[in-house]
Structure 1
Amino acid sequence: MGRNTRQRRKPPAAKALAAAAALALGGGGLLWANLHASAHEPDQEAWGGSRTKAATARVATVSCPDVGQRLTNVPEPARQGVARELAGLDRQITEAYARLAATRDAQAKDPGFVRNAITGPLGEKRAATIDRIRITVQRAGGSFDNALEQLAPCTTRSTNRTDAGGGQQNGGQPPNGGQQGGIGGQAGNGPVAADFVDITKVAPNVQGTPRRTGNASTGTFTTRCGVNANKNHNTDNVIVAPGVTNGAHHLHDYVGNQRIDAFASNRTFLRGGTSCQNRDDLSSYYWPVVRVQDGTRDFDQNADGGGKEGNVGRILTPVQAEIKYVGSPAGKVVAMPQFLRVITGDAKTTTNGLANANAHWSCTGFENKVQLTERYPICPRGSKVVRSFAFQSCWDGRNTDSANHRTHVAFADPASGVCPNGFKAIPQLTMRLVYAVPPPVIQNGQVRNAYAVDGFPEQLHKPATDHDDFISVTRNGLAGKIADCLNRGRNCA
């Protein structure tokens, strides 16, 4: 077992900063963009912001290697048990981060406190969990890479900035549980001022689409499933943590299939009903909610996955949700298999890095010009915030899921649109979510009325952690009809 080699390609690094590849929707098709943080996501000083330096570095978050990314060959009988153990690792990190956030005074008095009271015990718990994963895999007849045992220890990350204080008011006092002098945000775990940028000050970075071949599948298929106006939410993750309540540790919007939670099965999906106008589309489309941190509280302020884990503020329902399947510029597509599961993006980029990042933030009127991965846009008056996703469009032809939920699908080559060897082109799911967001205000190195995507608390609500989930469930031949529509070059709905 080794690292996932089917990761999205990255352009070369420059000045030791990681780069991310971004996809944007607009102009009637997919627009490819190479987005580099140093070139196109400038620091706040570049557009009039300021920072206040702290005297000493502060511990900001817990950073643990992602064991799940390395598990690429788990026998089918062991996957349920392994998934529960991986969910346990997430829970351990969440609990450790909560202790970190609650012990700032002790940390200031004792330089060894974090190591002795937080990261040391966390590493011991992780070692025991990884050993249980080994036993589960080997009992099912699989082989275990002993190098995974080296992923047990965790470190911490520090910040020497105090450009935080999101949502502060009333003379600088943090409202509703915010932490003054913390690392930003209404709950003290982000975002910070440096996570935002005035989109009008960002240089265009969107490039053109790959050239179509004569055999390209040029059609589109749009499915209308609403914006989750009925507030179908939960903090589960049936793909990554089946059978585990609150496996995501953050709240999701659900459209399409209406029976999705941690305990749903393929049989449940077929009985789930749908919010889509096409009643044969029982697929589940779900994504982390966006919240405005304006000092208000929502229904889950005291709940797991919500306020208890640092996801606070007013939940925004998209004003528009466009779900569209598009074809391949390099050839025809095959129908998606029933119950195909796909996750795009990475909820843990703050600690994992940008290798699997697939976040795209922009504003209406700017989508064909600017797409951001590591910054949230501040949109001008009259413009709305846009999140867009372009899912993996290549399938291995055999599996509807994989142990790390990545290796059974892949991205096409960004220059040619051709799938990797052994993979077949499938309809590419694209999504565009539009939000009416009150513009954040940056002043004196602080952000007021910040907005942020929900996430694991230790990920600090960074924009690059945005991600999207999909389970393909259709009936009456709809999957074949979608592929046929694209292959014939038609625009269907």
Structure 2
Amino acid sequence: MGRNTRKRRTPLATKIVAGAAALAVGGGGLVWANFYASAHEDHGGHNRTRSAGAQVATIDCPDVGQQIREVPDRARGEVDGELATMDSQITNAYQRLATTRRAQAGDAQFVQNTILGPLKDRRKAIIDRIQLEINRAGGKADGNLDELAGCQGRPADQQNGGGQNGGGQDDGQDGGQNDDGQNGDGQGQEGNDDNGNGVAGPVAEDFVDINDVQPNSRNSRNGLAADGDGGSTGSFTTDCGVNENNLFNSDNLIAAPGVDNGAHHTHDYVGNQDNDAFSSDEDLANADTSCQNQGDKSTYYWPVLRLQDGTQEFDANDQGGGAEGNVGKILKPAEAQIRFVGSRQGDVVAMPKFLRVITGDAKSFTNGDANANTSWSCSGFEDRQVTDKYPLCPDGSQVLRTVNFQSCWDGQNIDSANHRDHMAFVQEDGSCANGFQAVPQLQIRLAYDIPTPTVENGQVQNPYAVDSFPEQLHKPITDHNDFINVMDEDLMNEVVDCINRGEDCQ
């Protein structure tokens, strides 16, 4: 697969200027789309109107990229670029949604006529181009992709439970037509969940006291640990630091190569030091690495965590940062443990160089949890894992983000059209499905020292949150990790041998 070698701006690390300043509502970020529904309660013989809780309108679009299965190699760059354009269309539509609530209150068809309808037309044009590019390159495009052009608006407290939503239109617009008078005149302010910074999320309901999480209750079809008592029981740990070099950007080299700001949120990088949208495989191979073992030039990256405390970070006015609702102090991990483990069913084989793996789904809030692979916990409470909540940890306990990557490889491809089909999770018994073979499973554990947010009267003060696409509202279930294998051949063979021999190496 060819990669664009054009280089771009100086890394953001050279522009870091950290300072403390409160963010005004809408200043440097998307304005909060805050809507209120009225409800009535009977208290002592009289009715009292109260806020039923803020409903945050967001844009819910079918993920076209996840539905594309076959793209000829020579069309893949163009298709990835078109998909990145669709992401930008959603971001722009969400910003329009978030800044027009007065107009929405006065016109029940405003969202449909001025936001969702035009968005569907623009998405249809992109889908047509994608189909044309695939066919021109000798492939056969799915003729049903047009069905994914339409988007919905819906409340932020209503997660899409099942993958694609069918692209239907929602004329109700998720409460967006409710009386605008509830906002800004002193009524219903207990429902105002913008945390004082003018951006959407997280909200109080996105947090849970770790003591209220039942041990061993996490039910996830993904993220199974591949290692166990049988098979290849060794491990290999690589120490690549915690991004001491301040390498940040809002690109996505895997999903949107050649596209500036393809992620619309900022990533932390460790390992390879040449990570932006325009890095070629050759660039990666020739780059420096933050890993102690210089044979490991792999790219390990994840969305940053931020403490929404009013800090003006280096990207406070940039796309991918504050201009797209990702605000506050970037939190570096206190520790980033990166290790590879084996298979419960037998030996593992070497990963091919430049293998690309995405785990989790940055759009899980609207896509549903089919590809979600999040695990949040607190140190000392590791048997209590949550997927759709941020944990409130007791004093002295660290916030933990852990992830087990897919560890079954199709034996042929370093990437696939939707960046997922060439890799799979192990089955319940630890084996790989037919046609796939076990490779070392990457496991990443990030530990953070974060002051515990407080939740009072339905409001969360000084929350922390993962960076996200704007319309995903900083939901914890959208956490994700990315990996590109750039170990040299000798080191990869050492990793495999160590794991298969049952030794713990580094």
Does TM, normalized by the shorter one, top 0.5?
A: yes
Q: Could you say which residue in structure 2 is the equivalent of 1:130?
A: 127
Matched, 1:359 2:374: yes
User: Residue 447 of structure 2 aligns with which residue?
Assistant: 434
* Kept after mapping to 1: 8 A contact 2:360/2:373: yes
Equivalent residue number for residue 426 of structure 2: 412
- Contact 1:302 / 1:308 at 8 angstroms: preserved in 2? yes
Contact 2:227/2:341 (CA < 8 Å) preserved in 1?
A: no
Share of identical aligned residues, percent? 58
CA–CA distance in structure 2, aligned partners of residues 72 and 466 of structure 1: 24
> Aligned-pair distance for 1:229?
1.6
Distance 1:456 1:180, change over 3 A: farther
The letter of the residue matching 1:76 is D
SS in 2 for 1:447: strand
Name stretches of at least 5 consecutive residues in structure 2 with no aligned partner: 1-48, 159-182, 219-223
- Work out the CA distance in 2 between the residues paired with 1:365 and 1:303: 37
Structure 1 unaligned blocks of 5 or more = 1-51, 162-171, 174-178
Q: Say whether residues 1:423 and 2:436 are aligned partners.
A: yes
1: CA distance, partners of 2:364 / 2:137: 31
Change (3 A) 1:159 1:476: closer
C-alpha contact (below 8 Å) 1:182/1:188 kept by paired residues: no
- In the alignment, which residue of structure 1 is the partner of 2:203? 192
Taking the aligned partners of 2:253 and 2:50, their CA distance within structure 1 comes to 42
1:203 aligns with 2:229: no
Structure 1 residue aligned with 2:164 = none
Contact 2:227/2:343 (<8 A) preserved? no
**Hey, what's the Cα distance between the residues in 1 that align with 2:449 and 2:130?**
44
Q: CA deviation at 1:58?
A: 4.3
Separation (CA, whole Å) in 1 of partners of 2:438 and 2:194: 43
Query: Structure 1 pair 230/395, CA: closer, same or farther in 2 (3 Å)?
Result: same
Aligned to 1:453: 466
Q: Is 1:482 the equivalent of 2:495?
A: yes
- Partner of residue 61 from structure 2, selected from 64, 69, 73: 64
Maintained 8 Å contact 2:333/2:446? yes
Q: Distance in 1 between matches of 2:198 and 2:335?
A: 28
Query: Counterpart in 2 of 1:401?
Result: 415
CA contact (8 A) 2:242 2:332 kept: yes
Cα pair distance change 1:268/1:410, threshold 3 Å: same
Query: Does the C-alpha gap of structure 1 residues 183 and 78 become closer, same or farther in structure 2, counting only changes over 3 Å?
Result: farther
| 1:223 aligned partner, one-letter code | T
Q: Secondary structure in 2 aligned to 1:105?
A: helix
Q: Deviations over 1:414-469 (max 9, x none)?
A: x3100011000000000000111110111000111111000100001000000000
Amino acid at match of 2:80: A
Return the alpha-carbon distance in structure 2 between the equivalents of residues 292 and 212 of structure 1.
36
- Residue 75 (structure 2) aligns with: 78
CA distance in 2, matches of 1:393, 1:422: 13
AA matched with 1:122: L
Letter in 1 for 2:324: E
User: What is the CA-CA distance between 1:155 and the residue it aligns to?
Assistant: 0.6
Q: Which residue of 2 aligns with 1:155?
A: 152
Match of 1:248 among 260, 263, 266: 263
Structure 2 vs 1, CA of residues 211 and 316 (structure 1 numbering), >3 Å: closer, same or farther? Answer: closer
2:292 equivalent to 1:277:
yes
Amino acid of the structure 2 residue aligned with 1:480: N
Query: By how many angstroms is 1:296 displaced?
Result: 2.1
TM-score by length of 2: 0.81
The answer to which of 182-191 and 435-444 deviates more is 182-191
- CA–CA distance in structure 1, aligned partners of residues 503 and 411 of structure 2: 25
Say if 1:187 and 1:311, in contact at 8 Å, map to a contact too.
no
| CA deviation map 1:116-172 (0-9, x unaligned) | 1111111110000000001100000111111110100111012589xxxxxxxxxx9
2:394 is matched with: 380
Separation of aligned partners in 2, 1:271 and 1:212: 36
Is the Cα contact below 8 Å between 1:363 and 1:377 reproduced in 2?
yes
Contact 2:364 2:478 in 1 (8 A): yes
What's the CA shift for 1:184? 3.4
What secondary structure, in the 3-state scheme, does the structure 1 residue paired with 2:202 have? coil
Cα distance, 1:111 vs structure 2: 1.0
In structure 2, the residue matched to 1:14 is none
Amino acid at match of 1:83: D
Equivalent position SS for 1:197: strand
Mapping of 1:153-232 within 5 angstroms?
153-158=150-155, 183-185=193-195, 186-205=197-216, 212=228, 214=230, 216-232=231-247
Q: Aligned letter for 2:258?
A: G
What residue number does 1:345 align with?
Answer: 360
CA contact (8 A) 1:292 1:314 kept: yes
DSSP-derived class of the 2:146 partner: helix
Q: Is the 8 A contact 1:199 1:377 kept in 2?
A: yes
- Secondary structure of 1:325's match? strand
CA contact (8 A) 1:60 1:183 kept: no
Displacement after TM superposition at 1:476 (Å): 4.8
CA distance in 2, matches of 1:455, 1:211: 31
Structure 1 CA distance for aligned equivalents of residues 243 and 359 of structure 2: 20
SS in 1 for 2:240: coil
Cross-structure match for 1:467: 480
Against the structure 1 CA distance between its residues 187 and 336, is the aligned structure 2 distance closer, same or farther, given a 3 Å change threshold? Answer: farther
Paired residues, number: 424
The residue aligned with 1:33 is none
Corresponding residue for 2:94?
97
* TM-score, normalisation: structure 1: 0.83
Query: Residue by residue, what CA displacement relative to the aligned partner does 1:238-274 show, whole Å, maximum 9, x if unpaired?
Result: 1000000000000000000000100001100011110
Change (3 A) 1:481 1:138: same
Q: Name the SS of the counterpart of 1:146 in structure 2.
A: coil
Match of 2:305 in 1: 290
In terms of Rg, which structure is larger?
A: 2
1:239 aligns with 2:243: no
Residue 201 of structure 1, CA deviation: 1.4
Q: 1:210 to 1:150 in 2, by over 3 A?
A: closer
| 392-401 vs 199-208, which moves further | 199-208
Structure 1 residue identity aligned to 2:216: N
User: How far apart are residue 109 of structure 1 and its match?
Assistant: 1.2
How far off is 1:297 after superposition?
1.9
- Between the aligned partners of 1:286 and 1:159, the Cα distance in structure 2 is 27
Q: Alignment partner for residue 331 of structure 1, among 312, 325, 346? A: 346
Aligned to 1:314: 329
Deviation at 1:206, TM superposition (A): 5.6
> Which amino acid in 1 is paired with 2:86?
L
Q: What is the CA–CA distance in structure 1 between the aligned matches of 2:435 and 2:112, rounded to whole Å?
A: 46
Deviations 1:305-340 (A, max 9, x none): 000000001100110000000000111000111000
RMSD value, Cα: 2.1
Q: Per-residue deviation at 1:188?
A: 2.4
| Deviation at residue 294 of structure 1 after TM alignment | 1.5
